[in-house]
Structure 1
Amino acid sequence: MEKIVVVGAGSWGNALALTLAKKNSYEVYMWEYNKERAEELEKNRENELLPGVKFPDNLHVTNEKNDLLKDAKVVVFSIPSQALRGVVAQFSDQMRSDLLIVNTGKGLEISTGMRLSEVIKDEILGKYHNNIVVLSGPTHAEEVALNLPTTIVAAGKYENAKKIQEIFNTNTFRVYVNEDMLGVELGGAVKNCLALGAGIADGMGFGDNTKAALITRGIKEMIRFGERCGANPETFNGLAGIGDLIVTCASKHSRNRYVGEKLGKGEKLSDILKGMKMVAEGVPTVKAVYEKAKELQVSMPITEAIYKVIYEDKKATEMVEELMTRELKEEF
């Protein structure tokens, strides 16, 4: 069996590890940073974040990182965006020219505004930069772990993205290829910000009309932002754009929508985050996107309103009023 390492034992890293292990042609090692939790996962053969889904025999959990990537075909990083740099640094000396590097996180690094593939590049040697592939799309871990039909996109240098497509593809997990890594990453980042807005609308008791407006006009913001950054606008009409935006704005599984809903009901952000086991990527990412949009002079009124609710303590009702009473415009 070929060896694959998944760095990160959260729900998404675990769902991907399960997907790979179920193919029976890979020996999958999942790295968990907390030693006690790693031992617990290995012993229980089940992740509390994905209850009822047992680990197959070819899925192993470890806290040891020395030589972990030795002989591995692929390393998959499934780490929250603001922690990614530090984790990659711990494995940087194990990179090889024949090792494919996959990132599955979604967001931008607040301190630098960098996309996550850029963060990885910053921590590894330049000769390995083309080995990076991004895996992104409308994919809730809870559903992937249960083998519910799912589609995703692998983005990067064509030859490497094709290899990742073949490695991950199953009869319930269909992988497409897109060479526009920039667009795929920006779509994954911006949709998390907009999902906070969808949640705020839910928390305020608004209806389907509101959510449809937010998603549709949100896509326009995503495309404007992406084009200004140099991405292919067509990418945002695909899985990493509109596909991921729809599922994140509508699903009960969405952490970002959940946080937004609590905010819309008047709860404090610190209290909401304190009660969560998993990370809502939109919270740090909306700050990074807002600042980048200002720098590039891109109009993103919905994103700006969400930023002000979270970081400037503005009332959601005031932001809705502001959005709805802006200067009237043509649609296109």
Structure 2
Amino acid sequence: MLPDTRLTRPYEHIAVIGGGAWGTALAAVAVRAGRDVRLWMRDEQVAHDIASGRGNTRYLEGLELPVGIRPTTDVDEALAGADAVLLVTPSTTVRHVARRIGESAAPGVPIFVCAKGIEAGTGMLMSEVASEAAPGRVIGTVTGPTFATETAAGHPTAVTVACTSGVRVPPQDRAATRMAISLTTGAFRPYVSNDMPGVEVGGAVKNIIAIACGILEGAGFGENSRAAIITRGLDEMKELAVGLGGRRETVTGLGGLGDLMLTCSSRQSRNFSYGFQRGQGLNDADVFEGRAVVVEGRHNAVTVTDLARLIGITMPISEMVRAIVADGRPIGDAFAQYWASPIRAEPRALDLEIAHPAIEAVTERFEYLNA
């Protein structure tokens, strides 16, 4: 007989800090799950639109939201009475916002960081950043293969919820389990994990791999090319996760492989779309018609490879993307260097490395991308 879910106490009052597309989508999920939800955002007009029933007109235009989301531009008001917080701001603001939450939220309230990435300069995962900025708090994450528009619209969606709460706490009482129950609806299905590094690495690396896949599709290559990049990109995820104390099998779950497949296969992904436009020959200034669009993979390409270099992990696809988006290397040259790297075995137990026998042919194959 399965345990009675009533033994696991949901968080009844949830503060969602960040009123972008994903923050709004998670607020919608929590309301549908029966929670009391306050949603903080900076934009007063968007807050007014949500309160008046018009939805998030800036980030989820035309999408009807469930009744019950209480928007505010006052962070203290959002946090008042909350027994759990979903932090859903860009990765570059997590330290500042987590510190603010730590100062204002009631003692014992956990923070679930829904941003993905690695902090520049420190090499910290987002959970580590939040833990340092808000000491003494239980820190968790909600991550997985999700597009905000589909989640907000109620499409069937699965995610992983992980947290740092100790092994001495029974599994049904851990913060991750309680948040999973708090967000479960007829369409939104969470899974629970205790492997924070394994879960978070996937979210940081998948955006980089998506840029590489987008470049290849934009350049006219097909499914073979994308499958190769996704598969070898997954291997890079696993190596970094293990290097940070995570488990390889975690990376084959929703937060790793699942998120990787989604982000690398659709132009709904800003990272894939950015890569696609670069593969078509556009430069940074011209992508997205010159609009300022947040492409986390450009930032992640630097922070992830900085961390990998620091701990002695080799990540050739991530290095290739960094060379293109941060170092200004021509796309054709960067891809040729990767594709002409030595021939190696897939099982790491088989120690094999042979110089590529057709380097000139590889160079010729990719050189047109430099035009």
TM-score over 0.5 (shorter chain): yes
Q: By how many angstroms is 1:298 displaced?
A: 1.1
Task: Give the distance between the partners of 2:296 and 2:83, measured in 1 at CA.
Answer: 28
Q: By how many angstroms is 1:278 displaced?
A: 4.9
Partner of residue 320, structure 2: 305
Partners of 1:77 and 1:104 within 8 A in 2? yes
Q: By how many angstroms is 1:280 displaced?
A: 1.8
Task: Give the distance between the partners of 1:152 and 1:56, measured in 2 at CA.
Answer: 20
Task: Give the distance between the partners of 1:266 and 1:258, measured in 2 at CA.
Answer: 13
Deviates more, 1:52-61 or 1:207-216: 52-61
Task: Give the distance between the partners of 2:264 and 2:225, measured in 1 at CA.
Answer: 12
Partners of 1:108 and 1:288 within 8 A in 2? yes
Matched, 1:85 2:88: no
AA in 1 matched with 2:100 = Q
Partners of 1:113 and 1:292 within 8 A in 2? yes
* Structure 2 CA distance for partners of 1:5 and 1:274, relative to 1, 3 Å: farther
Matched, 1:110 2:130: no
Partner of residue 265, structure 2: 250
Structure 2 unmatched runs, 5+? 1-10, 166-170, 348-371
Partner of residue 32, structure 1: 41
Which residue of 151, 159, 171 maps to 2:158?
Answer: 151
Q: By how many angstroms is 1:41 displaced?
A: 3.6
Partner of residue 179, structure 1: 194
Task: Give the distance between the partners of 1:278 and 1:269, measured in 2 at CA.
Answer: 11
Partner of residue 60, structure 1: 70
Residue deviations 1:256-299 (CA, integer Å, cap 9, x gap): 10111111122222433674565221111110001111112211
Task: Give the distance between the partners of 1:89 and 1:262, measured in 2 at CA.
Answer: 37
Matched, 1:140 2:137: no
Partner of residue 46, structure 1: 55
Q: By how many angstroms is 1:68 displaced?
A: 2.8
The 5-angstrom pairing of residues 257-272 of structure 1 reads: 257-272=272-287
Partners of 2:64 and 2:153 within 8 A in 1? no
Task: Give the distance between the partners of 2:86 and 2:191, measured in 1 at CA.
Answer: 17
Which residue of 84, 101, 106 maps to 1:96?
Answer: 106
* Structure 2 CA distance for partners of 1:286 and 1:134, relative to 1, 3 Å: same
Task: Give the distance between the partners of 2:285 and 2:93, measured in 1 at CA.
Answer: 19
* Structure 2 CA distance for partners of 1:217 and 1:283, relative to 1, 3 Å: same
Which residue of 323, 327, 330 maps to 2:338?
Answer: 323
The 5-angstrom pairing of residues 282-297 of structure 1 reads: 282-297=297-312
* Structure 2 CA distance for partners of 1:67 and 1:42, relative to 1, 3 Å: closer
The number of aligned residues is 328
Residue deviations 1:121-143 (CA, integer Å, cap 9, x gap): 12113x22xx2111111111111
Residue deviations 1:173-198 (CA, integer Å, cap 9, x gap): 11000100111011110111111111
Partners of 1:142 and 1:253 within 8 A in 2? no
AA in 1 matched with 2:64 = K
Structure 1 unmatched runs, 5+? none
Task: Give the distance between the partners of 1:57 and 1:135, measured in 2 at CA.
Answer: 23
The 5-angstrom pairing of residues 201-216 of structure 1 reads: 201-216=216-231
Matched, 1:191 2:209: no
Partner of residue 366, structure 2: none
Task: Give the distance between the partners of 2:234 and 2:65, measured in 1 at CA.
Answer: 38
Task: Give the distance between the partners of 2:289 and 2:306, measured in 1 at CA.
Answer: 25
Residue deviations 1:102-126 (CA, integer Å, cap 9, x gap): 111111111322111111112113x
- Which protein shows a greater Rg? 2
* Structure 2 CA distance for partners of 1:140 and 1:109, relative to 1, 3 Å: same
* Percent of aligned pairs sharing the same letter: 33
Deviates more, 1:62-71 or 1:158-167: 62-71
Matched, 1:279 2:294: yes
Q: By how many angstroms is 1:231 displaced?
A: 0.8
RMSD: 1.8
Partners of 1:196 and 1:257 within 8 A in 2? yes
Task: Give the distance between the partners of 1:303 and 1:22, measured in 2 at CA.
Answer: 38
* Structure 2 CA distance for partners of 1:249 and 1:46, relative to 1, 3 Å: same
Task: Give the distance between the partners of 2:40 and 2:292, measured in 1 at CA.
Answer: 18
Matched, 1:119 2:126: no
TM-score by length of 2: 0.84
Q: By how many angstroms is 1:255 displaced?
A: 0.9
Q: By how many angstroms is 1:31 displaced?
A: 0.5
Task: Give the distance between the partners of 1:274 and 1:284, measured in 2 at CA.
Answer: 20
Task: Give the distance between the partners of 1:302 and 1:162, measured in 2 at CA.
Answer: 35
Partners of 2:49 and 2:56 within 8 A in 1? no
SS at structure 2 position matched to 1:68: helix
